[in-house]
Structure 1
């Protein structure tokens, strides 16, 4: 004898509803489009739209990857890697495992961002100076990672500043300035047309060999201010400022830092792009930059490769994160 449950399921299509029977006493009713039930393993099922666009592959114990057809990662190409005792796992497809350098750099970028966010929290940072902001990538990443304090961004080039301004327009605690920072208040020219690599310095011979973008350039006149001359306004309204300095100025970071003068001591931490292989004429090597920061009381908390030579594996530049260890909150 047909049960009431079964009769009810048969009635649903007449009402314009679709029914996917999942087993005794269980069904999914949907208003539009069919559904497909795919078994993932004992006690686990996947329900997807009946359009043939999804593929499922195992990714370790009790884990599966669902991808749309047409992606470059075919079903079955995933490998789940345990990240020590962190509780995290890394999912790799065959493309990632085939390109070690790209994987390492992507992982370094992720880890650097996570580390900086953790340091901002640990040291109670409430104002980040984002020097060399470009179009706001760094600030937007901080927001995604949960930083809610003030961000003060400096970008000297007109095109990038216009995009930066637009990115920050709905964030009341993200202030932007159409300025470059340096050792002295002046007006100078910057090389443009190099995307995120615009610089006040000309490219080195090595830089020209590495990047085709350096073959052609245009210049733009920009205003440069000392960092210690803009800090008062930037920190206005913060009762107990705890600032952090991020610099990404394509070979010009030490000039920015020099412009902080004695107020460099106000910063609890910094992030600077330091070079093992110089892309710009006159830019400092990593050893010089790190020594300068250390003389001011900063200590390294993390080093993350930004670029590497494909042929040799050598690191070209690192993101160097440093803090004043004595400024860390004391816990009992």
Structure 2
């Protein structure tokens, strides 16, 4: 029977045993494995029937994640992130030395070779050039034959309107020439941006029917690869590897681009690398203070919105921002003096709003405004809330005022310890001694 790893359980233990080792780079946890150890890890996960999304993270991916909260959340909850570029590897320094770079083409070939003994099937998902929005239908077949010490013939059936080579037929032939005992169970183009849920379901069904345990996702759009790996891993137990441009590089390299295109690519790479260096520098200099630890708690709970009640002059939110919290914030302050300072601090932050209210249960002159009455004005659909409150016991009034929306208040923080959490919540070790931090039980 296959087994699944929770996407919040983190990466698997390294091949030598012991707890998982991760090093954060630009806010993303990376596992520093040697190329050989990375290949063995993928084979081990596939043999166990684990559902896992594996992401090769270069500097461009980490720079994109720094600007895209959804991609950042996805990578933080992934089963395994590997440093794929030299720039990324240099920032991941276990024991003070740079980590080894896990190069996508080498990882693919090393894993295919290591998986031959286990009889593992591989599935190739790639996007043909110029077919980003192509519907997933049609067929293409590729056959590879190798000669010398042995002969191997394999066939890959790909669905899609793009070229067979782009869908994996040429790569199938290349793999079979190199490793005659390898088994390529199938190939298909990666669904386009306009693909429907039914198309994704049909793709997962084809992968399941093929018996493949390792699914390689390649192409030029790395963000789509990462999202596809996470989406498919949540629906069918296999190991899904977002491998970047590995298909093209293994199959003989990309065609030379015109000079103008090469210049534009160089400019884009330079800008991306600069963004990555800034993100990595922020991560390196934040330290392990209380705000840093709190921001990590918020990231682990996938918090999208922080409500700061009795916000005073906004120092709390400033601390969260400096520690790396990028989600929305709504601050509440009824006193005019502190609220003016608060508004000045929030003026340059488009994700920070200020309201002249106090939150509570709405009972009596000091009951404040009920959160359920402000819900549509304060929140967006699907957001997960964390509420910072002014004193112990105030969480009961806040939850009463939230009414039917109380379950959406995922976490609470009070200025002062509380003896017993409200029903449905559990206490976690607070980053600030004397505070109380509570999260709703899942």
Q: TM-score range by the shorter chain?
A: 0.3 to 0.5
The structure where helix makes up a greater share of residues is 2
For normalisation by structure 1, the TM-score amounts to 0.43
State which structure, 1 or 2, has the greater radius of gyration over its C-alpha atoms.
1
For normalisation by structure 2, the TM-score amounts to 0.33
